[in-house]
Structure 1
């Protein structure tokens, strides 16, 4: 009999995993034989995201679990702060935040709003090519994918002619996060390591350029600013820049694409957004609950035995936190399977919580708000070509691989 966890990671269920999550919540902690311990209810997940006994470092997995998971050896770049525990996590995250957000750079993200609008407008203008093809466009390839990679490259200070290379590296490295890959894990690890090496070599050259001639970009700030924890080493800058690329790209692609798919399935909300652009703010928050781009966190482990609902999760065990299941927990949210942008109590798990809450959340929110508001305003009579659309294979970063829609034209 196929286990619930196998069904959740099975690509056949990618289009709608939510009925499986409902089954999962009936047993708050599931452990199938030698597999991971899976936690699926809102309050338990939230508690673990804030529990200092839960580690994000792979080295804290027991040797047998690490062998079973075939953890790839890190050879080209050290772990980013996302995969570190305090105090190193706090030091690196704090230094990364200095050029990104409050209190040292309080307007870094907000000041990008005009540039985000220009990028979005240019990409939407480019959709006119699809009008010659019966009005059919692929919103992923023509909009959702190029938008975030353009933004993160400009934030870091990557030359525009190199943005396409980042697209390829981001795609490869994001695929390596899948806990149930469609191909041999050793081959997947090899391909991911090769992409990581190429990315590292490219960034190393860019870092040296910025050391010699700093500019007004985040990469220059990372290599020149000295925070309370001392300057970042070159390798720390490399791993941080790589994290910003992957986390700042793939999740936002899925947030925008899931968002547009949801709006097309709820034409009344789409019309409200067209009439009231300020609705973009609550719509994006509800999307982060209803269709979160990060469905689960598969790389956690306790550093001591912990007990949850009478189940002992042993030190060094593999622990999965199913954020998307927690977001649909009826013990936390009323009518959780209903998409409701007027929802008042919306403390979702879509961007995580605790010390590892999404670092780029302010930028991701703003990108999605600008993108969805402008798509709603400018697309004339958008409609889905196929529903459900084809999804990416990745069970962690869930979103459509293509979103084919038809439009009658573009509004000015």
Structure 2
């Protein structure tokens, strides 16, 4: 495949008409592991090359290192979250957040949430079992992780309608094309980001000096080994966790329901052996990852990847979902197989930016899928494929209608 063809293939992947099944296009893309795009960026689509770059200190997550940022949010004036920073700044902020979220300082936080997660899921399912038709997204996969992340951060659950609109507009900006997208769409995303940050800043101020178990309260008055986060850093961290803490999990749960209903043999095994959910979720993260690609990485210096030289300052896109289906690494990659050995998928990325909330997302998906299918009566899909959301980055159904027999 020529570079021009590979560029065209990636543009077809980004087109919404390909959202229901981009995997044949990923197979085309892998014929050129590192493909230069017409705008000067590079797309990397094979497992070993993606993994190497995710561990390469010469790959920058800071959009300021791009020669031509172009991205509407890349040059914003506010303090970026640690996901958009490089070491050592990234490492410091991530350590400070992790003190209150997981090991080594809070090693049991996620596991201690298990009773609360079960209780939330049970309440949601109690409202579903009597319905003939369910929208898995609106009725279950969305309210579950939103309730959890609001509880962890200390965001009032009743404010969800306000931040839901902001988050939708911000997520839409992940796919913005500065050449083809309207200025109105760009302004809408920027305005939503400002509104969400202002809301979180106001919430942070209300928590200062008040002891509380939520993350905002803890960060507001925390003096750890790395010092104290500034208000701007706390708001950026909360903004990241609020969005990432539910958007990706919604897709993981919804894609899981869809995949299991498409594979009734696996679903029947899971019902007989609920412990199988652990490896089932790992296979879902490989087979239908909620984050399909990582855009807007930059080359700190000239990089040679698969015999292709990527010049310093070039934009690099890592197509995680393509790497997860790479036959050079995974045997029979298009087969959904929870028994797959040594499943080192890219569902949560890799390297220093390995997903901060991965342990929580795993547990949420395990509980949600097990309990849902334990209680639903002979569920079947109303439409296959379902309608998909616009985003090619955070790919998942906008609605998933299921009817109980």
User: Moved runs in structure 1, 4+ residues, more than 6 A?
Assistant: none
Q: Determine the structure 1 residue equivalent to 2:264.
A: 267
Deviation at 1:228, TM superposition (A): 1.9
Q: Determine the structure 1 residue equivalent to 2:53.
A: 48
Distance 1:186 1:123 in 2: 40
Q: Determine the structure 2 residue equivalent to 1:113.
A: 114
Q: Normalising to structure 2: TM-score of the pair?
A: 0.95
Q: Determine the structure 1 residue equivalent to 2:85.
A: 84
Q: Determine the structure 2 residue equivalent to 1:123.
A: 124
Partner SS for 2:127:
helix
**Is residue 151 of structure 2 the alignment partner of residue 151 of structure 1?**
no
Deviation at 1:32, TM superposition (A): 2.7
Taking a change above 3 Å as real, the CA distance of residues 189 and 227 of structure 1, as seen in their structure-2 partners, is farther
Q: Determine the structure 2 residue equivalent to 1:10.
A: 15
Distance 1:191 1:73 in 2: 16
Return 5+ residue gaps in structure 1 as ranges: none
Confirm or deny: 8 A CA contact 1:24 1:40 kept in the other structure. yes
Q: Deviations over 1:30-83 (max 9, x none)?
A: 113324201111000000000000001011000xx224x4555414x4210000
Taking a change above 3 Å as real, the CA distance of residues 185 and 312 of structure 1, as seen in their structure-2 partners, is farther
Distance 1:255 1:153 in 2: 18
Deviation at 1:249, TM superposition (A): 1.0
Confirm or deny: 8 A CA contact 1:271 1:376 kept in the other structure. no
Q: How does 1:236-315 map to 2 (within 5 A)?
A: 236-315=233-312
Distance 1:59 1:270 in 2: 46
Q: How does 1:59-208 map to 2 (within 5 A)?
A: 59-62=64-67, 65-67=68-70, 69-70=71-72, 73-75=75-77, 77-128=78-129, 131=131, 135-180=132-177, 184-208=181-205
Residue 62 of structure 2, aligned match among 35, 47, 57: 57
Taking a change above 3 Å as real, the CA distance of residues 285 and 185 of structure 1, as seen in their structure-2 partners, is farther
Q: Determine the structure 2 residue equivalent to 1:33.
A: 38
Distance 2:35 2:210 in 1: 53
Q: Deviations over 1:84-103 (max 9, x none)?
A: 00111000000000000011
Deviation at 1:159, TM superposition (A): 1.9
Confirm or deny: 8 A CA contact 1:263 1:270 kept in the other structure. yes
Confirm or deny: 8 A CA contact 1:288 1:348 kept in the other structure. yes
Residue 327 of structure 2, aligned match among 309, 327, 330: 330
Q: Determine the structure 1 residue equivalent to 2:379.
A: 382
Confirm or deny: 8 A CA contact 1:148 1:253 kept in the other structure. yes
Distance 1:40 1:66 in 2: 21
Distance 1:138 1:317 in 2: 42
Taking a change above 3 Å as real, the CA distance of residues 20 and 314 of structure 1, as seen in their structure-2 partners, is same
Distance 2:72 2:243 in 1: 22
Taking a change above 3 Å as real, the CA distance of residues 302 and 207 of structure 1, as seen in their structure-2 partners, is same
Partner SS for 1:137:
strand
Deviation at 1:308, TM superposition (A): 1.4
Confirm or deny: 8 A CA contact 2:248 2:394 kept in the other structure. yes
Partner SS for 1:109:
helix
Distance 1:174 1:273 in 2: 33
Return 5+ residue gaps in structure 2 as ranges: none
Q: Deviations over 1:357-399 (max 9, x none)?
A: 1000011001100100001100110000010000011000000
Residue 401 of structure 2, aligned match among 382, 385, 404: 404
Confirm or deny: 8 A CA contact 2:64 2:74 kept in the other structure. no
Confirm or deny: 8 A CA contact 1:170 1:249 kept in the other structure. no
Q: Determine the structure 2 residue equivalent to 1:367.
A: 364
Deviation at 1:181, TM superposition (A): 8.9
Q: Deviations over 1:4-34 (max 9, x none)?
A: 1111101111100001111111111111332
Distance 1:271 1:182 in 2: 48
Q: Determine the structure 1 residue equivalent to 2:315.
A: 318
**Is residue 52 of structure 2 the alignment partner of residue 24 of structure 1?**
no
